Each structure stands twice: as structure tokens, then as C-alpha cells.
Amino acid sequence: MTLDQREIRNALGRFATGVTVVTCRNEHGEPHGATVNAFTAVSLEPALCQVTLTRKSKACSYLDDAPFAVNVLADDQTSAAWHFAGRPQDPQPEWAQTPLAPVLVGNAATLTCRPWRTYDGGDHLIVLGEIDDIEIRDTEPLLFYAGGFRALRPHDKDHWAVSSDCPEIGWFDAASDFSPLWEHRATAS
């Protein structure tokens, strides 16, 4: 059975995500960015994150064993999201330089990464980076849902403390210490 690509996109679009711009340097050393909502945390030790980019994107070729930054856009950065999605905006987003990669100014959070691994993801590449530096601003993130940009709003007044997954009181609180799975396998052998 062959699935319709529009139907696949519509189904995947029902999952709300944050909006990031992955930034790096092009072959001339100039800043380059691509809007990406396929971003996730991977590991705390080592600190790893992942972005997934279409193989057709210019950024995909620039990330080959190169440092990059994940710019988690703030809710007032919709024009930056459009700009790096192929719809240039005026004025252009403002850049800042870091020792590893160029970054955007005004993000909710910025994670500067060293290259870790790249994996085949079909028509995409899965790029893992080791987080080298983090900057966080106290601002709301830009969201993407069902083909459009959205703003965060509280769902209700209940804190998730009613869940056993609450980081302050749940099964796995913030003070928990976990060793990697491979360590457990090595000692069980």
C-alpha cells in the first residue's frame, strides 16, 4: 500500500512542535540558516541534540562534520522562521558570532553544537550534535501546528504534579542519576 504524501504530512502536522533555525557556515564561511521543526533532545550525558533536514537543503551539505547552532525561536520571531524557510524578509534576521557557529539574535534558547554523528533518514539526514554552549532567554517559544505558526498558551491551571512523570516529584525526578543502557548490558554479560 502506498500512502499519499499529503496525508502523511497532514498526520505528522497534528503533532505540535517548536520552531528552530539551524545555523552554520556555508562553503565561503558566511552564515547560513534553515528553518527546522524536526528537533529533539537525545542525551544529557553526553549532552546531545538532534535535527533532521531534507537532503535537498543547502544546510544539509554544509553540516557535513561542521559545527552548528540550534536557534529555538521566540514567539516574536515568525519573520525569522519564514526567512530561513525560503521566504526572505526585510529586515533580515540579526546575526551574532560564536567561536563555533553563527547564531541568531533574540532566540528563546540557543544551543551551539559540535558535530557528533550523522545518520541516514530516508529523504532526510539525522544530524546529532554535542551541545557545547547554551543561552536561554525568559520568553515564550514559537510553535508550529497543522501547517501554521502558533503561540503558547496555558491549557488550564493544573500543574502536572498530578502525573507520576512530574520532574519535581515523579518516578524520575530531577535528582535521579541514570547510567547509560550500554553500561548495564556490559555488567550483565
Alpha-helical runs (H) found in the chain? 5-12, 58-62, 78-83, 181-188
Q: Nearest-CA neighbor of 142 among 104, 99, 95?
A: 104
Rounded distance between C-alpha atoms, residue 125 and residue 118, angstroms:
7
Strand ranges, E, within 37-108: 39-44, 47-54, 68-72, 95-97, 102-104
Provide the whole-model pTM. 0.78
Whole-angstrom distance, CA of residue 34 vs CA of residue 78: 13
List of domains in the chain: 5-157 (2.30.110.10)
Q: Which of 124, 108, 107, 125 is nearest to 116 (CA)?
A: 125
* pLDDT one digit per residue (tens) for the chain, 189 residues: 788 888 888 887 777 889 999 999 999 999 999 999 899 999 999 999 999 998 888 888 899 899 999 999 999 999 999 999 999 999 999 999 999 999 999 999 999 999 999 999 998 999 999 999 999 999 999 998 888 888 877 655 555 555 666 666 655 555 556 566 655 555 555
